[in-house]
Structure 1
Amino acid sequence: MSIFSRISMGGLTVAAAFAAFSIAAAQTLEAPVDPGAPTEFEAPMEPGAPTEFEAPMEPGAPTEPGAPGEPDATVEPDATVAPVAPAAPQRITNPVAEFAGIDKITGRIITFDVYIDETVQFGALQVTPRICYSRPQTEEPKTDSFVEVDEITLDRKIRRIFTGWMFAESPGLNAVEHAVYDVWLKGCKQKSEVPAPDAAKTN
């Protein structure tokens, strides 16, 4: 009786516990679920919030160099450089022209200085330089003079036989054509040992 009673009591106890568990399980299954409530396996996410694999980006922010669809960097075009015109060669105006003359009969060569606008006679020729230009030593040599050459004929008349430019670097380019005498430009000078015409007249 006591054993049965204990068994009976034990059976009632188990039955009561089972019934209580069944009621709790039923209540859990029948509990309403909020459609928007997160489950224990899903964290709540705000609309528009960045994921853990995507960093937030501000509108208009530049992308990294090399990103597709975006230029690497803004490169300003080279400024237009105006072409620089080469400097014109400088000419030095000289007051004295140096000539060389040859007497074809004797073969004698004479060097003589002539001031600008002065007339010097060499044999039967009268030589008058009008201008004499040279270049600085830093530039390519180019010495030229505008010269007038007259011939004194046997009947004592003066005849113009040459008018033009003589070039010291190319003496044969514009040569004085005469049967006995040749004259060519040797150079231009700033001063000469020969007295200037005005000084000679004063003396």
Structure 2
Amino acid sequence: MRCLGLGFWGLCVVLSTSAWAQEQVEPGTGVVLRWLDKINGVTQDIEMANATSHQQSSLRIELGECRHPVGNPAGDAYAFLTIHAENDTKPVFSGWMIASSPALNPMEHPRYDVWVLRCLTQ
């Protein structure tokens, strides 16, 4: 979406993906996540391989895949995550999480926060 500041309300124009050059991406071998317990203030970095799961406290984190720009593994990573809270059948988060914009699609949980730091490449 592209927004132009025209007048008080502005004007947002949605362009099809063909109008913008799409960045080429490649899969990493896994992801580095940061986990935060908001009550205790404890953080931990978690490394996971693609298509695996990890139990962290009362959260089960499942990684589908992590992707990064071709030739730039330190570039903007994003990962497909599904996160379940203990005793919940419905996930508390399921979707793509972007390292440079964690607030764009955040996990909504009263105690824990999880976000993507980068892809693993080996």
Query: TM-score, with normalisation over the residues of structure 1?
Result: 0.46
Amino acid at match of 1:117: A
Q: Among 89, 110, 113, which residue is 1:179 paired with? A: 110
- Tell me, which stretches of 5 or more residues in structure 2 are unaligned? 1-19
2:102 paired with 1:167: no
Q: How far does the alpha carbon of each residue in 1:140-166 deviate from its partner, in whole angstroms, 9 at most, with x for none?
A: 93211111111113xxx5431111110
**How far apart, in 1, do the equivalents of 2:65 and 2:58 lie?**
22
Higher strand share: 2
What is residue 28 of structure 2 aligned with on the other side?
94
**How far apart, in 2, do the equivalents of 1:88 and 1:141 lie?**
15
2:38 paired with 1:107: no
Q: Quick check: which has more Rg, 1 or 2?
A: 1
**How far apart, in 1, do the equivalents of 2:101 and 2:21 lie?**
25
**How far apart, in 1, do the equivalents of 2:99 and 2:72 lie?**
15
What is residue 137 of structure 1 aligned with on the other side?
72
**How far apart, in 1, do the equivalents of 2:22 and 2:101 lie?**
22
Q: Percent same amino acid at aligned positions?
A: 25
Higher relative contact order (CA 8 A, sep 6+): 2
1:1-203 superposed matches below 5 A: 88-135=22-69, 136-137=71-72, 141-153=75-87, 157-191=88-122
What is residue 5 of structure 2 aligned with on the other side?
none
Deviation of the 1:92 alpha carbon: 1.7
CA contact (8 A) 1:127 1:147 kept: yes
CA contact (8 A) 1:123 1:181 kept: no
Query: TM-score, with normalisation over the residues of structure 2?
Result: 0.74
Aligned length: 102
Deviation of the 1:89 alpha carbon: 2.6
